[in-house]
Amino acid sequence: MINSYLIGQIKENFPYELTSQQSQAVDALADFLLSPVNDSLFILRGYAGTGKTSLVAAVVKTMMKLQQKAILLAPTGRAAKVLSVYSGHPAFTIHKKIYRQQSFSNELSNFSINDNLHQHTLFIVDEASMISNDGLSSSSFGTGRLLDDLVQYVYSGQGCRLLLMGDTAQLPPVGEEESPALTAEVLQGYGLAVREMDLTQVVRQLGDSGILWNATALRQLIADGDAFALPKIKVTGFPDIRVLPGDELIEEISSCYDKVGMDETIVVCRSNKRANIYNKGIRNSILYREEELSGGDLLMVAKNNYFWTEKCAEIDFIANGDMAVVRRVRRTRELYGFRFADVQLTFPDYQDFELEATVLLDTLHTDAPALPKADNDRLFYTILEDYADISTKRERMKKMKADPHYNALQVKYGYAVTCHKAQGGQWKKVFLDQGYISPEMLTPDYIRWLYTAFTRATETLYLVNYPKDQVE
Domains of the chain, start order:
2-199 (3.40.50.300), 205-472 (no CATH)
Q: What is the mean pLDDT of residues 410-421?
A: 95
Q: What is the mean pLDDT of residues 261-279?
A: 94
Share of residues in the chain with pLDDT > 70 (%): 95
Distance CA 401, CA 105 (A): 12
pLDDT at 378 over 70: yes
Q: What pTM was estimated for this model as a whole? A: 0.89
Instruction: Note the pLDDT of residue 439.
Output: 79
Between these two residues, 222 and 198, which has the higher pLDDT value?
198
Stretch among 82-86, 98-102, 148-152, 177-181 having the lowest mean pLDDT: 98-102
pLDDT at 204 over 80: no
Instruction: Note the pLDDT of residue 103.
Output: 58
Stretch among 79-83, 393-397, 408-412 having the lowest mean pLDDT: 393-397
Is residue 104 a contact partner of residue 454, using CB atoms and an 8 Å limit?
no
Instruction: Note the pLDDT of residue 225.
Output: 74
Q: What is the mean pLDDT of residues 304-332?
A: 86
Q: How confident is the model at residue 100 (pLDDT cuts 50, 70, 90)?
A: confident
Distance CA 360, CA 363 (A): 6
| pLDDT tens column, 451-471 | 999 999 999 999 999 888 888
Distance CA 144, CA 138 (A): 5
Query: Rounded mean pLDDT of the chain?
Result: 89
Q: How confident is the model at residue 221 (pLDDT cuts 50, 70, 90)?
A: confident
User: Measured at the alpha carbon of residue 340, what is the angle toward residues 339 and 346, in degrees to the nearest 5?
Assistant: 145
Instruction: Note the pLDDT of residue 136.
Output: 60
Between these two residues, 312 and 48, which has the higher pLDDT value?
48
Is residue 349 a contact partner of residue 77, using CB atoms and an 8 Å limit?
yes
Instruction: Note the pLDDT of residue 105.
Output: 45
Q: How confident is the model at residue 268 (pLDDT cuts 50, 70, 90)?
A: very high
Stretch among 45-49, 108-112, 216-220 having the lowest mean pLDDT: 108-112
Q: What is the mean pLDDT of residues 278-294?
A: 94
Q: DSSP state, 252?
A: H
pLDDT at 12 over 90: no
- Collapsing DSSP to helix, strand or coil, 409 comes out as strand
User: Measured at the alpha carbon of residue 209, what is the angle toward residues 204 and 214, in degrees to the nearest 5?
Assistant: 100
Chain centroid to Cα 299, Å, comes to 15
Instruction: Note the pLDDT of residue 106.
Output: 45
Q: What is the mean pLDDT of residues 89-95?
A: 90
Distance CA 271, CA 412 (A): 13
